[in-house]
């Protein structure tokens, strides 16, 4: 067996010590009718062949594309020192630090992570991590209900659709109310949270709101009026939850600056590879006054009996292993190794490096906007953005598919991602980061121009893929690959 150390002699010795002849005797307590049928699986695979199999599977993915896809997961440069540290067995094969005396490495790294994130978000209490940005946002929303003893949360429709769906699942589970705040439909504020509508809802006294959730930047890349939204929430006695993108916090005003009570977000952008969805890093932070409401592990500084500085998991009485059915959350395993990865990445880049990452993305995104405009493709919205924005593209799903064939991953087809949001039937959500090159941008613009000309020049019949997208009708029926949940 691959990782088992026992020789037949070892097994014999153990059985002899038990006065048994066969290991089957140890399973005699499984009643006959409950015994399993044999496992119908392939035989064991030696490592050499396993690696060939895995390499073959990996090769069936196409990752060498000029990619402009963000929408909640972002590619950034990671210095090799980060992964080399993460490959140390003392980090990745360590257990949860329940015996702090032999876990000071993990504990100190978590404390440092809490401190780094606290600096970035401007809030003092940071949990040791949640599963991902969506779960962190759901926990944040649940916190507002517990803290205010109210039962309804408002979430902007400009928060990531996956996050809103997870909020829905968690809130239905807990029997709490979740309502969506609509977006401004046109004009210069189109695509941002409709604060007037929010204010009207907050004023409804018969169903007071526990919390308001707004993202910055929002799903469409737009910058929201967070200070104003925060003020409106507080005026109605609700808490304000900011959903944030951590790299952007190098240059954008942090939640602490605009009075947010809780910040949640996805830490994947802190140098963690996309990995087709995870493991990621749910960031959750709050003000001091909410420290006993925040779920998840917390690491604090203390001293040992000799007076040495040391770190320990603290306020554990809140957690499931003690509080059980009264725990705020059932979370046990979290994302510690990813918190370490994010910390090492931040340590590797430093504040200047992080700021440069954000600024480079912004510069490249502006370049992208201009390049797309030069082939007649303009932004959907007018508001300010950092490095992500939506563009109007006739027949967006078909254009996206053709660009993919030409080696360009042209962002996200919004008609498929947010089918219920009006006015986005022909739009792509595109982003640029510091790893997007000028060549990538030029390629995208050039190929987009060619594809638009192709499609615009008669019935779409070149590819025979039977999508049936008629010229110029702009409906772009979503078919086959590219259609995404």
Partner 1 sequence: MVPSDLRYTKDHEWVRIDGDTATIGVTDFAAGQLGDVVFVDLPAVGKAVEQFATFGVVESVKAVSDLYAPLSGEVVDVNADLGGKPELVNSDPFGDGWMIRVKVGDAAQLEELLDAAGYEKLTAEA
Partner 2 sequence: MSASGPRLQPSLFELSKPGRASDKIPHPPADALDRLPAEHRRDVPAALPELNEPEAVRHYVNLSQMNHAVDTGFYPLGSCTMKWNPKVNEWAARQPGFAQLHPLAPDAVAQGTLQLLWELEQILIEISGMRAVTLQPAAGAHGELTGILMVRDYHRSRGDMDRTDVLVPDSAHGTNPATATMAGLRTISIKAAPDGGIDLDAFRARLGPTTAAVMITNPSTMGLFESRVGELLDAVHAVGAMAYMDGANLNAILGRFKPGEAGFDVMHINTHKTFSTPHGGGGPGAGPVAVGEKLEPFLPAPRVLREADGTFRLERVGERPTSIGRMRSFVGSTGVLVRAYAYLRTHGASGLAEITDDAVLAANYLKQRLTESGAYDIPFPGVCKHEFIASATSVKRKTGVRTLDIAKRLLDHGFHAPTVYFPLTVDEAMLIEPTETESIETLDAFADALVAIAREAESDPEIVKTAPHTAPVRRLDEAGAARNPNLRWRPAVGDWTPCPD
3-state secondary structure at position 428: strand
User: What, of partner 2, partner 1, none, does residue 165 touch, CB below 5 to 8 Å by kind?
Assistant: partner 2
Query: What is the radius of gyration, based on Cα positions, of the chain?
Result: 26
User: How many Å apart are CA 411 and CA 389, to the nearest integer?
Assistant: 10
Among 44, 187, 464, 466, binds partner 2 (CB under 8 A): 44
Q: How far is the CB of 292 from partner 1 (least distance, A)?
A: 7
Among 39, 206, 422, 472, binds partner 2 (CB under 8 A): 39
Determine the straight-line distance between the first and last CA of the chain, rounded to whole angstroms: 40
* Site residues (CB under 8 A) for partner 1, limited to 322-361: 322-323, 326
In 176-234, beta strands by DSSP E? 177-181, 209-216
Q: How far is the CB of 290 from partner 1 (least distance, A)?
A: 14
- The nearer residue to partner 1, 251 or 327, going by C-beta atoms, is 327
* Site residues (CB under 8 A) for partner 2, limited to 438-467: none
- The nearer residue to partner 1, 143 or 339, going by C-beta atoms, is 143
User: What, of partner 2, partner 1, none, does residue 336 touch, CB below 5 to 8 Å by kind?
Assistant: partner 2
Q: Does 279 bind partner 2 (CB under 8 A)?
A: yes
Among 292, 332, 459, 468, binds partner 1 (CB under 8 A): 292
User: What, of partner 2, partner 1, none, does residue 318 touch, CB below 5 to 8 Å by kind?
Assistant: partner 1
Bridge partner list, 314: 298
Q: How far is the CB of 208 from partner 2 (least distance, A)?
A: 21
User: How many Å apart are CA 113 and CA 337, to the nearest integer?
Assistant: 11
Of 400, 461, 466, the residue nearest 65 (C-alpha): 400
3-state secondary structure at position 181: strand
User: What, of partner 1, partner 2, none, does residue 306 touch, CB below 5 to 8 Å by kind?
Assistant: partner 2
* Site residues (CB under 8 A) for partner 1, limited to 299-328: 315-318, 322-323, 326
Binding range to partner 2, per CB under 8 A, among 150-158, 168-176, 177-185, 191-199: 168-176
Of 381, 382, 433, the residue nearest 411 (C-alpha): 433
Q: Give me 51's structure tokens.
A: 């690696």
Cα dist. 295→105, 126, 131, 180 in Å? 23, 10, 12, 24
What is the distance, to the nearest Å, from the Cα of residue 326 to the centroid of all Cα atoms in its chain? 28
- Positions that interact with partner 1 (CB under 8 A): 292, 315-318, 322-323, 326
């Amino acid at each position: 067996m691959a990782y088992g150390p026992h020789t037949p002699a070892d097994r014999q010795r153990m059985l002899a010590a038990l006065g048994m002849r066969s290991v089957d005797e140890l399973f005699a307590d499984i009643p006959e009718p409950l015994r399993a049928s044999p496992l119908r699986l392939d035989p064991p695979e030696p490592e050499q062949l396993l690696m060939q199999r895995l390499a073959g599977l990996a090769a069936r993915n196409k990752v060498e594309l000029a990619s402009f896809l963000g929408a909640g997961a972002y590619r950034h440069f990671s210095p090799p020192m980060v992964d080399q540290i993460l490959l140390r067995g003392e980090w990745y094969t360590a257990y949860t630090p329940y015996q702090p005396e032999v876990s000071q490495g993990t504990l100190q790294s978590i404390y440092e992570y809490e401190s780094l994130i606290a600096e970035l978000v401007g809030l003092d209490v940071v949990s040791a991590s949640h599963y991902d940005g969506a779960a962190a946002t759901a926990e944040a929303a649940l916190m507002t209900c517990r803290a205010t003893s109210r039962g309804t949360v408002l979430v902007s429709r400009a928060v990531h659709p996956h996050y809103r769906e997870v909020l829905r699942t968690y809130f239905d589970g807990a029997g709490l109310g979740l309502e969506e705040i609509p977006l401004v439909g046109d004009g210069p504020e189109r695509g941002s949270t409709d604060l007037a509508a929010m204010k009207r809802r907050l004023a409804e006294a018969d169903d007071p709101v526990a919390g308001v959730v707004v993202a910055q930047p929002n799903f469409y890349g737009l910058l929201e009026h967070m200070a104003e939204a925060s003020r409106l929430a507080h005026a109605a006695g609700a808490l304000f939850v900011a959903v944030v993108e951590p790299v952007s916090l190098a240059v954008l005003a942090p939640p602490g600056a605009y009075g947010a009570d809780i910040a949640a977000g996805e830490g994947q952008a802190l140098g963690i590879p996309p990995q087709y969805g995870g493991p990621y890093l749910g960031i959750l932070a709050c003000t001091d006054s909410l420290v006993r409401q925040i779920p998840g592990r917390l690491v604090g500084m203390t001293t040992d009996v000799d007076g040495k500085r040391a770190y320990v998991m603290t306020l554990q009485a809140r957690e499931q292993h003690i509080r059980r059915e009264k725990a705020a959350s059932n979370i046990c395993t979290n994302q510690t190794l990813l918190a370490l990865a994010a910390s090492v990445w931040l340590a590797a880049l430093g504040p200047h490096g992080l700021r440069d990452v954000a600024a480079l993305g912004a510069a490249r995104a502006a370049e992208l906007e201009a390049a797309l405009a030069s082939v007649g493709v303009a932004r959907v919205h007018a508001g300010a953005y950092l490095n992500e924005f939506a563009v109007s593209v006739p027949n967006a799903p078909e254009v996206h598919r053709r660009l993919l064939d030409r080696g360009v991953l042209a962002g996200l087809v919004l008609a498929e991602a947010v089918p219920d949001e009006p006015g986005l039937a022909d739009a792509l959500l595109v982003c640029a980061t510091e790893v997007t090159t000028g060549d990538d941008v030029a390629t995208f613009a050039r190929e987009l121009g060619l594809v638009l000309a192709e499609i615009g020049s008669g019935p779409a019949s070149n590819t025979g893929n039977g999508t049936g997208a008629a010229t110029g009708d702009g409906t772009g029926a979503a078919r086959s690959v590219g259609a995404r949940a």
